[in-house]
Structures are given as C-alpha cells and as structure tokens.
Structure 1
Amino acid sequence: MDFTLSTRQGRIGTVVEVAGDLDMSTTPELRDQLRKLVDSDTPVVVVDLTGVGFMDSSGLGVLVVAYKDLRERDGWLALAGVSQPVRTVLSITSVDRVIGVFDTVHDAEEASPALS
C-alpha cells in the first residue's frame, strides 16, 4: 500500500489522515506535517490512523514528539481509528496511557478539552 497523508479541518481542530505503513521511510512526512501544525498554533490535532496497518518505533517517536510539542503550547493530540497491530505497539510502550486513543475521529473530538 502506498503511503498517503492529508489534512482537513475537523469540528474543533485539524485531522491528519494517514494511510500506509508508518516506518523510517514515511515518518519524516508525518513529522513535517505535525511540526507545521504545532508551529501554526493549531490547538487540537487528531491523527486518524484508520489506514495504517503497521507502525515502527520511528512512527511512535514522531507521535510522542508531536504530543509533547502540542502540550507545551497548551494543545492536545489524539489518535483515532487505530488498528490492532498499532494498538499493540502503543500498549507495549505505554504510549496509550499518555496519548488518547479513540475508535473514531468523532470520539476523539468529543473527548477534546477544547469542548470543555
């Protein structure tokens, strides 16, 4: 499967839709897109991983860095549509205890502190 990345305006923030494997060859594109969003003071980012069947440590690292960068700016990052193999990586590394993991983009948006 080819790697694709797109962004769209969600209900309360930006949704980054990712499809394909997140590995050393594809994560730089995701890192650059997330960095642009952080630098533009986007307060809420939901990364939709519905189309991702595999993620290695480089993908995990990009998500953790984006989470920290957004948090430092009083922003929020969530993950949505996470497949079982990717959930396993998040669980083994305990990242799912720090970054919110939701079944759908809608569920993530509903949980956003921006709605509080």
Structure 2
Amino acid sequence: MPWADDIAIFCQGRAMELDVSSRVGGSWAGVNIMRCSGNLDLETVDIFTGAALPPLETDGKPLIIDLSGVSFIDSMGLSGLIAALSHAREVELGLDLVVNTERVSRLLSLTGVDVLMPIHESLQGALASN
C-alpha cells in the first residue's frame, strides 16, 4: 500500500504548500498517523483528501491527523477535514486531530468543527485516547 510507507507528497502553487506524510506501525501500530504542515486550502485540499481517505478505506485502523505544522486553513480545508470525518464515520473508524496552534484551534472552535471530532494538543494525547 503506497500510503503505508513513509511518504511525503508536496503540492506547490502560488506560495501555497502542504506537506503530508503518513506513518503506520511502530509503537502506534493500532492507528494510522498523518502529519501535515503548511497550508490546507483550495490549492492543497485534494492532496489532503488523497492522503487521508485511503488508509480509512483499506486498513481498518483509526486515523490521527496531526495538524501541528499547519499554519492556515480556509473553507476548502475545513471541507476536507469534514470529508475525512464523514468517511471515517461511514467505515466506523475513529478520526482524531492534533492541533497546537492558536490560529487553527480558534478556527475549529469558531466553525464548530471542534465538537465534531476529538481534538488533542499533542500526538501523545491522541495516541493515549486511542
């Protein structure tokens, strides 16, 4: 499975960039972890959903999306998060977020996304809850 290896997918366009890497195994063998950094927006949401949905479809393990490195999310980025959550619910798997930046945390709170899925301040906290 190509996403199961350590991968990095880069989406570049007009000063917007999103770096997505996925990991499985290790001390967190019961979950998949997807780390994102950069901007989650109109130009990068397809890369995000392209990386988030396959593990939910094929692996049968909950997904933790680490947004610690994400500095900006727009409405399309929010829709990508909601799409990942909807898919996780369809296949009856958990989806947790790691958010430790004030800007992203405030956005998720203002839009109500923070009540739709568990949000943790650290990856260790997310792993402990799974």
Q: TM-score, normalised by structure 1?
A: 0.88
SS of the residue 1:20 aligns to: strand
1:43/1:74 contact within 8 Å kept = no
Name the SS of the counterpart of 1:53 in structure 2.
strand
5+ long unaligned stretches in structure 2: 1-15
Contact 1:41 1:73 in 2 (8 A): no
Counterpart Cα distance in 2 of 1:107 and 1:6: 19
Match of 1:3 among 15, 18, 23: 18
Matching of residue 79 in structure 1 with residue 92 in structure 2: no
Q: For the residues of structure 1 that align with 2:68 and 2:90, how far apart are their CA atoms?
A: 27
Given the alignment of the two structures, is residue 66 of structure 1 paired with residue 81 of structure 2, yes or no? no
Instruction: Determine if the alignment matches structure 1 residue 20 to structure 2 residue 38.
Output: yes
Q: Which has the higher strand share?
A: 2
Query: Structure 1 residue 97 and structure 2 residue 115: aligned?
Result: yes
Partner of 2:11: none
How big is each residue's C-alpha offset from its partner over 1:48-84, in whole Å with a ceiling of 9 and x where there is no partner?
A: 1111111011111111111111112110001013311
RMSD (Å), alpha carbons: 1.5
Segments of structure 1 that go 5 or more residues without pairing to the other structure are none
Q: What do residues 9-40 of structure 1 show as CA deviations (whole Å, max 9, x unaligned)?
A: 26121110101011111111011111211221
The aligned length equals: 112
Aligned twin of 2:55: 37
Equivalent position SS for 1:74? coil
Q: TM-score, normalising length from structure 2?
A: 0.80
Task: Give the Cα separation in 1 of the matches to 2:86 and 2:100.
Answer: 20
RCO higher in 1 or 2 (8 Å CA, sep ≥ 6)?
1
Bigger Rg, which one: 2
Tell me, in whole angstroms, the C-alpha distance in 1 between the residues paired with 2:17 and 2:42.
14
Q: Percent identity, aligned pairs only?
A: 28
Mapped contact 1:20–1:53 kept (Cα < 8 A): yes
